[in-house]
Amino acid sequence: MNVTLRQLRYFVAVAEQGQIGRAAEVCHVSQPALSVQIKDLEQGLGVMLLERQPRKVTLTPAGHEVLGHARRVLAEIGALERTARLTRGLGGRLSIGVIPTVAPYLIPAALPLLRAENLRLDLRVREARTGTLIEDLAEGRLDAAVIALPSGEQGLEETPLFTDRFLLAGSCDQIGRMRAEGHVPDPTSLLPRQLLLLDEGHCLADQALAVCALDRRDTRVDLGASSLSTLAGLVGGGFGLTFLPELAAARESAAAPEMALTRFPEPQPQRVIGLVRRASSRGQGWFGTLAAILARAGDEVIAAAPGAIAALALAPETPARGTPTTTG
């Protein structure tokens, strides 16, 4: 048996495209050449992988099993190639994923620092939810990911970057009344019908529910906004209250001047943002360098939060940061 990487790549392309012709286009080869490679793979393995029909191909049971192995082999080869490029430090091509409640605020601040470190760095950034990023890490499509810690996944190395406290966001009238009464509610005392949160799949919504001692089965909580910017506009318009990460305070306050922010009483709810990678990729210097740069960028963005809050003449800053941490 002599299976080649080319055969595996062509087979995966056929499985994903569902047609020989389309797979050939994706692989930039002729259809006869691709078909020959697939037939050679089947002969080498001694099994039929595809059921060929006039307009499509369907995987056989053996084909489904081989597809999983082929994807893992190609993922490991891709990781090996990236390791070779990154062994000497932060350079070459680097693919990282970032959760949506962090990416719009952290990446613009981090890019100048990354360019200063290495102008030749070919950085690819993917914004997706935590589950998708962890899957892409496992499959070798990403080198690292920025998520809320702990991940709860085995086989990952985790490095904390910075602490991101949650602020209470609402309309200027709502927050103003709280200030006038001298009482900012504890997260657990917020009424579910007041809360607007991100839709299902966002770890930030799960974190907010956790600090409020609620769960998704509580249908009185409105879970439906697709982004923090949407939430900021809604609560600024008086439609409820929400949790806004300190990381997003400066940007979202500027975009939604009708929204007001204040801090929760101590202990303030918070999350830890970290960088993760496959534990099998240890021993590569780029990870520590990347973590240091992202941590610096995060600290710089969060440092602007007090100014955003002060500009709205809301609650004074409290320097303490040693508070309970939520999981994400």
CATH number of the CATH domain containing 265: 3.40.190.10
Q: Are residues 111 and 248 in the same domain?
A: no
Q: How many CA atoms lie within 13 A of 149 on its CB side?
A: 17
Q: Is position 212 within any domain?
A: yes
Confidence of residue 139 (pLDDT cuts 50, 70, 90): confident
Residues 211 and 308 in one domain: yes
pLDDT in tens, 48-69: 999 988 788 889 999 999 999 9
Q: Give the pTM.
A: 0.69
Kindly state whether residues 217 and 106 are assigned to the same domain.
Answer: no
Domain count, the chain: 3
Query: Residues 112-130: what's their mean pLDDT?
Result: 86
Least confident of 47-56, 79-88, 137-146, 259-268: 79-88
Structural domain contains residue 126: yes
| Weakest mean pLDDT among 60-74, 143-157, 206-220, 227-241 | 206-220
Report if residue 40 sits inside a domain.
yes
- Is 73 within the bounds of a domain? yes
My answer on whether 148 and 215 are in the same domain is no
List Cα–Cα distances, 43 to 5, 7, 143, 208, in angstroms: 15, 12, 35, 55
Residue 144 and residue 173 share a domain = no
In a domain, 200, yes or no: yes
Structural domain contains residue 207: yes
Q: Is the pLDDT of residue 85 over 60?
A: no
Q: Answer whether residue 320 shows pLDDT above 50.
A: no
Is the model's pLDDT at 321 over the cut of 60?
no
Do 185 and 314 lie in one domain? The reply is: yes
Instruction: Supply the pLDDT for residue 326.
Output: 52
pLDDT at 190: 85
- The whole-chain average pLDDT of the chain stands at 84
Q: Confidence band (pLDDT; 50, 70, 90) for 84?
A: low
Can you give the pLDDT at residue 91? 59
Distances 275 to 12, 119, 285 between C-alpha atoms, Å: 30, 22, 14
Residues 224 and 141 both lie in one domain: no
Q: What is the CATH number of the domain that holds 46?
A: 1.10.10.10
CA distance 216 to 223: 8
Task: Provide the pLDDT for residue 199.
Answer: 81
Regarding whether 168 and 136 lie in a shared domain, the answer is no
Determine the distance from the C-alpha atom of residue 177 to the mean position of all C-alpha atoms in its chain, rounded to a whole number.
36
308 & 229 share domain? yes
Domain boundary among 83, 108, 137: 83
On whether residue 276 sits in a domain, the answer given is: no
Q: How many helices (H) and strands (E) does the chain have?
A: 12, 12
* Shared-domain flag, residues 51 and 131: no
Residue 88: inside a domain: no
Q: Do 238 and 128 share a structural domain?
A: no
| Statement to judge: residues 309 and 184 lie in one domain | yes
Domain housing 261: 163-271+304-326
Q: Is the pLDDT of residue 167 over 50?
A: yes
Burial of 328 (0-12, 13-18, 19+ CB in 10 A): buried
Residue 144 confidence class, pLDDT cut points 50, 70, 90:
very high
